[in-house]
Each structure stands twice: as C-alpha cells, then as structure tokens.
Structure 1
Amino acid sequence: MSEAVITIKLPERFDFSYHKEFYNKTAEVLADHKHREVEMDFSRVEYLDSSALGMLVMLQKKCAEVGKQVVVVNASGLAADILKIANMEKIVEIR
C-alpha cells in the first residue's frame, strides 16, 4: 500500500448505525492532504443498506472537491451484489 493511499476498514454491518464513526473517520481523511486515494475496505461487510450507499456517495463528492479518489476494495457476496445493483461503479471505482 502506498503512502498516498489510506484504507478505512468497514464493519460487518455498514448501515446508519455506523454513520457517526464513518463521518469522524472520513473527516480526518479529508483533512489529510498527503493521501490521494481513499480505499473503502469491504472485506468484513456482510450487510449494507441505502444509508451506507448514501455515505459512499457523500464521501465521493467531498473527496472530489479536494482532489481525492474513493475506491471500494474486497467487496464480496451480498455486499458486492448490492453495490452492483445500485450501479455504484458509476460513482466510485470498485476493484
């Protein structure tokens, strides 16, 4: 992993209950100018809902404003299916 990349490991349940922690973690990332890419690590995510999708969209918009890119990594199973159904690859890069 490059120093220009910062990774945020998401919980098993990526839903509205994670909103405050997500906001706090991403605020730090947005303020840090040495990272150009924000990896959202979905390796533990087993469930996500529409609020999680909204959080990703909001993060992408805020990152774009400061020249950062959001990348989803390690999504599998139901989480990967939901991302695909929601056409999230049009908003964030999915690897």
Structure 2
Amino acid sequence: MSFIAMNRFRVAPGREEDFETIWKTRESRLKEMTGFREFRLLKGPEGEGYTLYSSHAIWDSRADFEAWTKSEQFRDAHRNAGRNRTEGVMIGRPEFEGFETVMHEV
C-alpha cells in the first residue's frame, strides 16, 4: 500500500511561468527521505480567474509522509512558500488532500 499527498494551487493569470519556475528551481530534498517514491507537478485547466495546478508526491506509507512533514528537509523546502501568495503568484493557500492506495494497476 502507498500514500499519495496532493496539493491544489490556484495560480494567478499570467503567473503560470513564474509558478513553474519556482518549483523547477527549488531544492525539494524529497529524495533524502525514507519512503519517498515520486513527485509530479501537474498543470490543469483554467478556472475563473486562475489556473489550477496540483502536486502529487507518492510515498511508501502515510507514516513516511508524516515524517517528511516534521523534518528539517520539509522546513527547508517550504521556507519561502508564503512569499508566493504575497507576491501575487498564488491565489489563496494550497489545498491538501491525502489518499491511501487501495488498488494499483500497471
């Protein structure tokens, strides 16, 4: 069984490239963590006044994910996260969703 941690982001119109650059240039430190498998940043549809993005991190377990959220690596990776809202890149706060895998096909 695995755990998928997802965040949804509403990005201000015209700031999509800025948002993507922030993600591409940040030091995530995820690979240092036990149980980390994969990360993806997805660009979704345009909504009313924003473009939707979602991040997906796949972990071996919820416990591994929770250890990440309490780690020095997590604090380092999220050090400037609030600045994205204050600088007008994001609209509002990210919305977190976590899921336990109950079925997986390859």
- Structure whose alpha-carbon radius of gyration is higher: 2
